[in-house]
Amino acid sequence: MNSPLLVFTDLDGCLLNKGDYKYDAALPTIDRLRTLEIPLVLCSSKTQAEMRPLASELNLPWPLVCENGGLIVWDDQQPVTVLGRPRSSILEVLQTARQAYRFRSFTDLGEAGLRQVANLPHEKAAPALSRECTEPILWEDAEAKLVDFRRFLDEAGLSLTQGGRFWHVAGNVNKGDGMARVVERFSQHAKYGNSCLTVAIGDSPIDLPMLKLADIPVIVPQPDGATMISVDDPQCLQADLPGAAGWAQTVNRILDNYS
């Protein structure tokens, strides 16, 4: 008998296409996971205000790992688990950093700026700004200064990680931490126990902690076919296509072997 399967996935560039944010190509595979009663856990840099409606659209009742592991939504009956550092504290550090580095944060961009930079529709900009324990930034200084900037943040107890479009400033927490907490919760359930087989799907450096923790890491390419990351694991799978189509193709391959 196969071990119970848990699937964790990034959103933008994986389950959601980059640019148009569509997921149509993944819907049959999501239905297949549902039929097999395999949990699909969304794990993203997005806020809970963004992820709750998406989970509802996709009819996914599973936990949500939000803001790169900084916050976990279990369900409407349980309080959220906050692993990250308060956004107000992060903004204080970034305010000091402006004396030496050039960047724009989500707070600086506001709704209008975020819609322009991220190609977000009007109704999705406000939820993206409602952050609790992270602050994405657009780096506008010399690339060589990133090393010093990262050191500055590290001394303040913060981390800097590259996402698909933005750099993300957070406390010392990542998607792997959020994933581990969810796996721990599932392991307490009689149906899953301690023998869960985990799949994690990502496309950028911010996904690496989650991918390295998984039994089967999956890397989705960028729209131009290039990959931003690699994982030194013989079980690692590479999707042939970007976005939702590549996501579906690779998850189906895993399910074919699993079944």
Please report, for the domain that includes residue 251, its CATH number.
3.40.50.1000
In this structure, are 187 and 78 located in the same domain? yes
β-pair partners for 217: 200
In this structure, are 75 and 113 located in the same domain? no
For strands 134-139 and 167-170, give the pairing. Answer: antiparallel
> Domain with 116 in it: what CATH number?
3.30.980.20
In this structure, are 161 and 179 located in the same domain? no
Q: Please tell me the pTM assigned to this model.
A: 0.93
In this structure, are 230 and 192 located in the same domain? yes
In this structure, are 253 and 180 located in the same domain? yes
Say how many domains are in the chain.
2
Residue 158: domain span: 90-170
Find the angle CA(20)-CA(75)-CA(158) to the nearest 5 degrees.
70
Q: Which residue among 170, 187, 214 closes a domain?
A: 170
Q: Which residue among 121, 145, 170 closes a domain?
A: 170
In this structure, are 70 and 178 located in the same domain? yes
| pLDDT for the residue numbered 1 | 46
Specify the amino acid at residue 157: G
In this structure, are 132 and 160 located in the same domain? yes
| pLDDT for the residue numbered 259 | 67
In this structure, are 55 and 160 located in the same domain? no
> For every one of its 259 residues, what pLDDT tens digit does the chain have, with 9 covering 90 and above?
478 999 999 999 999 999 889 999 999 999 999 999 999 999 999 999 999 999 999 999 999 999 999 999 998 788 999 999 999 999 999 999 999 999 999 999 999 999 999 888 888 899 999 999 999 999 999 999 999 999 999 999 999 999 878 999 999 999 999 999 999 999 988 788 778 899 999 999 999 999 999 999 999 999 999 999 999 999 999 999 999 999 999 999 999 998 6
In this structure, are 138 and 28 located in the same domain? no
Specify the amino acid at residue 177: D
β-pair partners for 200: 8, 217
Q: Which residue among 155, 170, 185 closes a domain?
A: 170
